[in-house]
Amino acid sequence: MSFESLGLLPELLHAVRDNGYDTPTPVQAQAIPMVLAGRDLLAGAQTGTGKTAAFVLPILQLLAPQASTSTSPARHALRCLVLTPTRELAMQIEESVRTYGKYLPIRSATVFGGVNINPQVKALRAGIEILVATPGRLLDHYQQGNINFSQLQYLVLDEADRMLDMGFIRDIKKILALLPTKRQNLLFSATFSDDIRQLVSGLLNNPASVDAGGPRNAAAELVEHLVHPVDRERKRALLSHLIRSQKLDQVLVFCRTKHGANRLSEQLETDGIASSAIHGNKSQPQRIKALADFKEGKITVLVATDIAARGLDISQLPHVVNYELPQVAEDYVHRIGRTGRAGSEGMALSLVCVDEAKLLKDIERLLQRPLPTQVITGFAPDPTIKAEPILTGRGGGGGSRGGSGRSTPRPGGSTRFGTGAGRRPASPSARSGASPRGK
């Protein structure tokens, strides 16, 4: 299968070639012909599958006949709205629009909260065909009279499951009510809860269904997983040890809470490891700078919360570390979707304490296989330490204590974490400084 065989315009094929892609990913191969044929689309696909090009390429093609080189705003009516859950994802999608659309006179812009609204107003007034937006700021612009939806033909809901998780359903419904009823709708989601199905049934008209080939596990298959059992209070020391002993130079680390992410980032700095935190309490310029520093290798570690990391496109990221396992097993798959992307291999390390035994089991059930375990010499868990409830609100740190918030009691006594024995790793010789049996 080639991009040529999908019937794309020469201008788009040229841009795809410039980007170095020669084969469409499964979601692209399935979705592009359906979108070009004018069908509504329901796609099971998460970040890392190539889903952005799966909608951006055909939409650019559908818009091309009306594209105009005129600078008059009147010749650049808003035709396509892409709704996304996060600012980072919005920026990355619009970057893709520019990349793939560079040989077509089609204009685009992003609007998202947390930054000055005036440059966005200016971009909207200049006239654009494609707008990538987060729901709240889009409604602000509409209420200020900055947006006219009367010519809108295409709507994309990207990462719809995450938008619902983030509480955007009311904003989405308000937005849908403002759009012309005759339009083509595309919905991308990694998971399909009852809420998503309800949204789909009210939104999509006889949709073509596309599956990116096991969206939940596609990323997981490309990645080597390794669990390091460790005491909750020793996670930070183990992380610093792993970074140093294995000479890791670009590591995305996940924490459960914003506070935990900040604290870990500061502690790593104290250990002499250049680090930044990225989460919802950081301003947009701070987030952009942290991501840029990370991509350029100015910092070794980017510590992120699940929501902040959603949509980050850092190509060929070699290492993801779960400093704390996520509360929801699906988030493990989203997290490791940051590594091993688009065919490159990655490594997902999880530092797991006795409190997290059940969370690990949930992940293994989702992936339908046990994850290899390796105790690092000098970091074997103390079997006398009992499991404690995991706190997910403010203050959750390296393990499970401190702060307030919902608590989930976890049964203790897991042999995997309580005895310090660990299981044999898949390839014990692969990593220096590690011993399969601990001590």
CA distance 187 to 41: 6
Closer CB to ligand AMP, residue 53 or residue 220? 53
Task: Single out the residue of 8, 12, 24, 43 in contact with ligand AMP (rule: CB under 6 A).
Answer: 24
How many CB atoms neighbour CB 408 within 10 A? 14
Listed in sequence order, the DSSP H helices in 145-303 are: 160-165, 169-178, 194-203, 218-222, 235-245, 258-270, 284-295
Residues 143-154 as b/e (b if ≥16 CB within 10 A, e otherwise) read: eeebbebeebbb
Scanning 42-50, 220-228, 252-260, 271-279 for contacts with ligand AMP by CB under 6 A, the matching segment is: 42-50
418 in contact with ligand AMP (CB under 6 A):
no
Closer CB to ligand AMP, residue 51 or residue 225? 51
Task: Single out the residue of 6, 8, 25, 187 in contact with ligand AMP (rule: CB under 6 A).
Answer: 25
189 in contact with ligand AMP (CB under 6 A):
no
Scanning 49-57, 224-232, 265-273, 401-409 for contacts with ligand AMP by CB under 6 A, the matching segment is: 49-57
CA distance 222 to 336: 10
342 in contact with ligand AMP (CB under 6 A):
yes
Shortest reach from residue 373's CB to ligand AMP, in Å: 30
Scanning 41-49, 141-149, 173-181, 231-239 for contacts with ligand AMP by CB under 6 A, the matching segment is: 41-49
Scanning 20-28, 31-39, 133-141, 178-186 for contacts with ligand AMP by CB under 6 A, the matching segment is: 20-28
Instruction: List, in order, residues 6 or more apart from 304 with CB less than 8 Å away.
Output: 252, 253, 254, 255, 261, 277, 278, 279, 312
Closer CB to ligand AMP, residue 47 or residue 189? 47
CA distance 199 to 172: 10
Closer CB to ligand AMP, residue 17 or residue 173? 17
Shortest reach from residue 347's CB to ligand AMP, in Å: 18
Q: Which of 61, 103, 110 is nearest to 89 (CA)?
A: 110
CA distance 177 to 353: 47
44 in contact with ligand AMP (CB under 6 A):
no
Task: Single out the residue of 259, 341, 410, 416 in contact with ligand AMP (rule: CB under 6 A).
Answer: 341
53 in contact with ligand AMP (CB under 6 A):
yes
Name the pairing type of β-strands 223-229 and 346-352: parallel
| Contacts to ligand AMP from residues 130-149, by CB under 6 A | none
Shortest reach from residue 92's CB to ligand AMP, in Å: 7
Closer CB to ligand AMP, residue 159 or residue 165? 159
94 in contact with ligand AMP (CB under 6 A):
no
Tallying the residues shown for the chain, one arrives at 439
CA distance 232 to 389: 12
Describe the strand order of the beta sheet including 41-44 as a list of residue ranges.
108-111, 130-133, 80-83, 154-157, 184-189, 41-44, 208-211
Closer CB to ligand AMP, residue 342 or residue 385? 342
Shortest reach from residue 105's CB to ligand AMP, in Å: 23
51 in contact with ligand AMP (CB under 6 A):
yes
50 in contact with ligand AMP (CB under 6 A):
yes
255 three-class SS: coil
Shortest reach from residue 96's CB to ligand AMP, in Å: 7
Residues 420-438 as b/e (b if ≥16 CB within 10 A, e otherwise) read: bbbbebeeeeebeebbbeb
Asked if residue 70 lies in contact with residue 107, where contact means CB atoms within 8 angstroms, the answer is no
Question: Residue 435: how many CA atoms within 13 Å on its side-chain side?
Answer: 9
By CB under 6 A, name the binding residues for ligand AMP.
Answer: 21, 23-25, 28, 47-53, 313, 315, 341-342
